[in-house]
Amino acid sequence: MLGKILGYEVNGNLILVNYKDIQCTVTMVNERVVNFFAPFFRKERNSKAVENLKCENIEFSVEKNEGCLNVKTKLLDIRIYDDFKVDIFKSNGEALCRDFRGERKPFRRLGANFSLAAEEGHKLEGHEEYKIYVSKVMENDMYFYGLGERTGSLNKKGYHYRNWNTDDPTPHGETYAQLYKSIPFLITMKYKEACGIFFDNHFESHFDMGKENSNYYYFGAKDGNLDYYFIYGPEVSKVVNEYTNLTGKTPLPQVWTLGYQQCRWSYAPAERALEIAKTFRKKNIPCDTIYLDIDYMDGFRVFTWDNKKFENPKDFTNQLKEMGFKVVTIIDPGVKVDKGYKVYDEGIKNGYFATDKDGIVYKNVVWPGDSVFPDFMNSNVRKWWANNQKIMIDAGVAGIWNDMNEPASFNGPLPDDIIFDNDGTIVTHKEIHNVYGHMMDKATYDGIKEFTGKRPFVVTRACYAGTQKYATVWTGDNQSTWEHLRMSLPMLMNLGLSGMAFCGTDVGGFGHDCTAELLSRWVQVGAFTPLFRNHSTIGSREQEPWAFGNETEEINRKYIKLRYKFLPYLYDMMHKCEENGAPIIRPLLYDYQNDKKTYEINDEFLFGDNILVSPVVEQGSRQKLVYLPEGNNWIDYWTGTEFEGGQYIIKEAPLDICPIYIKAMSIIPTSKDVNYIGEKDNECLNLNIYLSNKKGIGNYNNFLDDGESFDYKEGKFNKYEFNFELGEALNIEMKEKIGYEKVYKEIEIIVHNFDCSKKVFFNGNEVELIDNKLKIKL
């Protein structure tokens, strides 16, 4: 209890609130974002997510009223009370977020014999105590989203989650409280009103959305400072945009990273990986990337190659390059204890590894046996790790896959008191555990950027808020089960809402044996996830696209080709994401917040702005109940049939059909068939205009650059802006902004659902459609 407010002062965007033994800070970041900070642990912030907090110059007033400090902006009315309690209202007085004043009362389990249950081995759920704890009033019509990679339903109401990055090899069920990632960002929503809470605390933290008591939701931490941001929408899109303004946008990736990727533990020796690559080309199945799991290394020593399995790594990667493949290799943080091994020797000599409280280098067991762990909190260690990326880059590796970076270890987790050096400030493992992988990813990103000059491709299993600046993520070691296919959809949607726009799953499932039907249905989902990687474990049945016979091979080929067809659209969406944080795979509510029926749909998603995907995720199902959101008409991609929004329909879905719907009055750019990205010159843009049976307008921006460098940040890109209007005639207009030397030579416009009796105009000139197509020479 902090006691009564004794006074306050305003310093720029900061409001310093004085209590008896502590000074708290309210930071007015902008008109819709406010930070609340109480230095319970140390006076300074130590955020690895918000690296450079920028405040806008806004007008706000502060008044000391009876019982509270009243802060007003154009949008918000913030009331700060004794004990640093906070209520936030809209400017019209409508409540948005209020601290709960009642006593904390976990639901009683009436008649429970706890001691007997414990003797039988049942796990009992009590309630934990926290040094940092904030509870908020929960209203009946509230919904909860975000929190990153979480099992269970899209709406997190009634769930409790723990933020403590954890490698748990058992199959993940709906009730798992923690997995590999900790993103303490929660979106709360009432009808048409969305807000966000970002609790920037690296210690073990917890979020409870009414599981403990339906009168309140809370967030708390075992230690550290109270440091949280309130974000007001009211649109979900604005909440996500502001959150990613704080923690960083997902950067535009190299375009090849959006292609199909094939992985297994393991494609070794080199001959096996080359055989896989040749089979893709022989079977005319597009693929851009081959992964190498841990068996490529010499005794699992990071930054080494097994010279028996990969006699000449550079020659090996060159052979794959000639076939159009990139190579991505796994790297773990654990460094083998082995005198004479360069990486280990350098780390020991320079004091680069974490130690115990007595200064002795800490050891645990991972794949190489006894291993030590780099101190990624130290900038010198990160620079050293970044420099080691050159070993892989020089061997022809195009991307790095960071695994086991929770950090995971075989002899139990690293103890809480292991010491790290945060550039002069001594910190313990319990404080930095959740950001360990985040800082490893930063080091990896920096190294690849330095030695290639290209946009780095880093894939990571563990992350924290803000990791999207450095890496793409996948949902870890899933299983080849229908439950995990179903569960992957809300997991990915909530990752997207949590800033991790570049995300995916192990298509087909990592553990256990996949089946033909499950693989095809999973490929249909993967074709519409930003990261499209098939991965499976050692000893399981192989699950390459051709692994189950001709029928499913043809289906898998069809959807992998469809992915490549939509690549220009996906690349445009990734560029848009870098600008406004909009996730690629997103729940329907993101764009259709006014349609309450979208709030709890777990098995459909939007792929960017204009495509709705409703995959089949039940074994044996050959139909799908599809909800089409209110506010737009929707066009069946396969049949061209137009449907009114705001209704459920039943779609026939044999094994080769995934229900896909295009938003009417939208534009989708597509590409020609290729085996890999860059196989053919990008000289023609295919532009699909999907008309409605109603009058209306539509627009689309297409982005073109070299697809790999940072030159676009210097203006070296082309922007093609298309606008169309359907009335008595169809009017299409195009504007160009040219900054990149390579331009389209031709644009082919394909008009779907066109009434041939209407005239067509392009940039004011009447033109003729031939077979509903129009070719424009540039």
Q: Which residues are catalytic, by number? A: 403, 406, 477
The residues, any chain, with a CB within 8 Å of residue 75's CB and separated by 6 or more, are 31, 32, 90, 91, 232
| Degrees to nearest 5, angle at CA 444 with 582 and 44 | 75
| Degrees to nearest 5, angle at CA 209 with 250 and 503 | 20
CB hemisphere CA count around 176 (13 angstroms): 23
CA distance 688 to 773: 9
CA distance 324 to 677: 8
Q: Look up tokens 């800490």; give the residue.
A: 362
CB hemisphere CA count around 239 (13 angstroms): 30
CA distance 321 to 323: 5
Segment holding 572, helix H or strand E: helix 567-580
Give the SS3 label for residue 291.
strand
Paired strand residues for 428: 419
Give the SS3 label for residue 481.
coil
Q: Cis check for the bond before 313: say yes or no (omega within 30 of 0).
A: no
Q: Are 466 and 50 in contact (CB under 8 A)?
A: yes
Q: Residue 169 CB: number of other CB atoms within 10 A?
A: 9
CA distance 336 to 172: 29
The CA-atom distances, in angstroms, between 586 and each of 154, 350, 485 are 11, 45, 16
Copy the structure tokens of residue 621: 């199902």
Q: Residue 745 CB: number of other CB atoms within 10 A?
A: 12
Q: Residue 107 CB: number of other CB atoms within 10 A?
A: 12
Q: Are 291 and 259 in contact (CB under 8 A)?
A: no
Please give the torsion angle defined by the CA atoms of residues 307, 312, 313 and 318, in that order, rounded to the nearest 10 degrees: -160
Ordered DSSP codes for 294-349 = GGGSBTTBTT---TTT-S-HHHHHHHHHHTT-EEEEEE-S-EE--TT-HHHHHHHH
Closest CA to 333 of 384, 292, 296, 290: 384
Closest CA to 254 of 673, 584, 678, 560: 678
Q: Residue 90: phi, psi to the nearest 5?
A: -70, 165
CA distance 564 to 277: 17
Q: Are 259 and 676 in contact (CB under 8 A)?
A: yes
Copy the structure tokens of residue 79: 């009331």
